[in-house]
Amino acid sequence: MAQATKRIKILYTIPNFDSAGSGKALLHVAKRLNPDQFEVHIACFHNRGAFFEVVKNSGIPIHILQYTTPMKPYIKGIIRCFKISRQFKKIQPDIIHSFHYSADYSEALAAKVAGIKWVFTKKNMSWGGSSKNSWSLRVKLASGIAVQNTDMIRQFFPNSNKTALIPRGVDTNMFKPQDVNEAIKKEWNISSNNHVLMCVANLVPVKGIEILLKAFSHAIKLYPKWKLLLVGDYENDYGQEMVALKTKLNLQDSVAFCGIQKNIPGYLSIAEIVVLPTLNQGRKEGSPVSLLEAMSSGKNVLASNISGINDQLADFQDHLVEAGNIEAWIKALSTNFELPTTHHQSRGMDFRNHVLNNYPIELEVKRCEQLYTKLYA
């Protein structure tokens, strides 16, 4: 009898599951890896967080482990890395794949000491400033780098042979065209005469919500039947500033802050247009999954012409809007508000087909498997 091929043991690391964004991205891939080829484990700092129970219920082994450490003073930092390396050796992974968003390199150093290949996903466009040297060390210590858009390769890794382009994927069976959720419309006082513009994002300054609110306040003067729903966490200083701006712009009857919602497909069902007005500054976007989810759901979309987004909308240049430019957003909104619902539905199916061909979650998983297999060989 032929001896069974050894499965490649992957340890995914992530600081926590306090918010579902990165945690969902990790779990979507981890639970879909071919079980005949890969053995999957997860390590995180603690067992708190709303999404932790979801991960736990997946059946994937979870290790509670402080796998990073401050590196200064350097001698003590290196000693602590040796201690972390011993913890990694106990788990015995063949490859560690880090979903840590920061420029920390202690995890990579500990993996190097343990003799374990270490991969990280570059999730946003931050790099320079005080963290530049740390990012450079991460690159030197890494065996592989999963990059989420082509601008990352050009800007950060132009001559590297370690990179693999692995954009985010979306579950096209979960996010698909569906009947309008009338209960959600009723909850937010959306009548049959209204049209819904939606943005799905936790409200932080880089998302450019103030640009959207100001542009929307101008556009609805000619198209008053449109309503804007902002779906995502706004219980922070920036979110409260946006609530105040809504009042200042006299948008009380036209804009709703919906907060964090679990039923995103249901919310998308009531939208005709979905927007993502991210600014071209700071960390920006890597490969925004909220935009892919809207596209997969058959929605017409408009989004800022910035890294990550311009990959996803490369075939739809007329749906890219200059980031931070209120006049450009007024024009984009007004032009689309003028169009009939049938146009939005038809265009939405174009986006749906684009996602099916280029961004299904199965393709993201396949690319990860190819990276792991290449590193293990």
Is the residue at 119 inside a domain? yes
The pLDDT value recorded for residue 131 is: 83
As a whole number of angstroms, the distance between CA 148 and CA 74 comes to 32
Amino acid code (one letter) for 199? C
The token pair that represents 283 in the structure block: 């960390």
DSSP string spanning 104-156? --HHHHHHHHHT-EEEEEE-SS---GGGHHHHHHHHHH-SEEEESSHHHHHHH
The pLDDT value given to residue 180: 98
pLDDT surpassing 50 at residue 1: no
Query: Over the stretch 28-62, which tens digit does the pLDDT of each residue have?
Result: 999 999 999 999 999 999 999 889 999 999 999 99
Instruction: List the domain range (segments joined by +) for residue 127.
Output: 8-169+360-376
Q: Are residues 353 and 368 in the same domain?
A: no
- Residue-wise pLDDT for 284-303, tens only, equals 888 999 999 999 999 999 99
| pLDDT reading at 116 higher than 90 | yes
Distances (CA, A) of 45 to 62, 164, 213, 235: 10, 27, 38, 25
DSSP state of 326: H
Residue 15 included in any domain = yes
Does a structural domain hold residue 175? no
In a domain? residue 14: yes
The two tokens of residue 200 are 């799905």
| Model pLDDT for residues 168-185, shown as the tens digit of each residue | 999 999 999 999 999 999
Residues 114 and 252 in one domain: no
The structural domain count of the chain equals: 2
Indicate which CATH number applies to the domain containing 130: 3.40.50.2000
The number of beta carbons lying within 10 Å of the beta carbon of residue 60 is 17
CA gap 137, 68 in Å, rounded: 14
